[in-house]
Chain A
Amino acid sequence: MLDAIDKTLLKTVAELEELPKGAYNIRKNGKLLSRHVSANINIETNADETGIIVKIKPGTKNESVHIPVILSQAGLYDVVYNAFIVGDDAEVTIIAGCGIHCGSSEPEGHAGIHEFKVGKNAKVTYVEKHYASGEGAGRRTLNPTTRVFLAEGAHAQMELTQIGGVDEANRINEAVLGPDSLLLITERVLTDGEQTAVSTNNIVLKGAGSRANMISRSVMKGNSKQIFYATIDAQNKCYGHIECDAIIMDNGTNETMPSLKAGHPDAELTHEASIGKIANDQLTKLMSLGLTYDQAVNRIIQGFLK
């Protein structure tokens, strides 16, 4: 059922060697390849058959859902709408990812629109990895969108990673936070060659006591370009922080625009941004421990994107 390329892509984006335990839904070239549901986690195709609805029962503990997408069909642009409804007090890990293998000169792409409704006091960890490979010259596009709605006391931790090989990415993250909810987003993007990536983030702190921390780590190699927009809109007594760091290698370019809006006198908002080459003192330190210049560069980038 899974061929060698599928297995490689699955391993890279979902760290799966074989079919996972628990609930999963594997989509290949725009069609369902395999699905498994569990007692607490239901997966069904949505009404207009454009994606899936994942429902997690209230109070579910320590379960996971894998929903990888693999593309290896030339010329296909696959768009999918997935909804996650996480019941009150549930604790769940959702592992998504898209791997593209492009073996021809035809373009391939995927747009995954993921919407999360996280119930009261529920905790969600969402891990998303994007990766493209293959010897073909076809343009590989990945445009993921996540929309998160956190109910009172809900926690969401989101790890969003674009590892490499993606020619064009237009990434959008949106979130609306209820009272006392917490959102942690870490986005890591590595581009190379002539690749471009744009990341647009809008976080609305609506409820009293809501907290958000957005961390972005970008590395631009070759002539690649990344643009990062992040806005935190505070509408209540809340706390928000944006931390965006970009490392330029070769001739990469970067634009970073963190923006803070305080619409409430008790809003506490901060941001820090940096763009630059790898710091000399870091390279010197690692070389003084015996690494060569190139090894030191790799070690620093590996840590930065970890």
Chain B
Amino acid sequence: MIALYLPGRSILHRAPAGVKLLALLALALLISLWPHTGVTIALAGLVVVALYAFALLPPVVLLRQLWLAKWIVVLMVVTQLVFLTPWDALVNTVRVVSIVLLAALLTLTTRSEELLAALETGMRPLARLGADPRRIGLTLSLAISMLPVVAGIAERVRDAQRARGVRLGFRIVVPVLVLALRHADDVADALSARGAD
């Protein structure tokens, strides 16, 4: 779900991460709070597409992000059709998908370390409340890189139960959690060994 950085030389790639982060915040607020008409929602969608073009990313990247967002679309359309008119469901779905695509654009054009540095700067006022922005930043990027690891663990446990001809059903959570926690211990060791604590 989280898009990985694609190297490039566009203005969006070179813009400071902090500026991009603030722009994302502003655009996301604008798109979600604006009382949309057909024209403005189409405009929002167009702006997103234009920004992808502006980042000189090939169209297939945008399509891939859209495809990744398919479950969000399904979830939003189905649940909202129950309570709202089809038009409102459409507008709200475009809203959310636009924001998801914008967030993906940020991570596609920004190295995560630059993003983290910007976040750390942004969180600096929290230091007065006793929080450690460097730690929060490191935790965030660890969380990002652990997603595929946990997915790999789940895959392994699924394979193991298949190979042994058992069906754990919902109980599969237990071995996955145990392995994930054990992995967390190893990661803690690696963090210490690399002088990160």
A binds B: no
Chain A: residues with CB nearer than 8 A to chain B? none
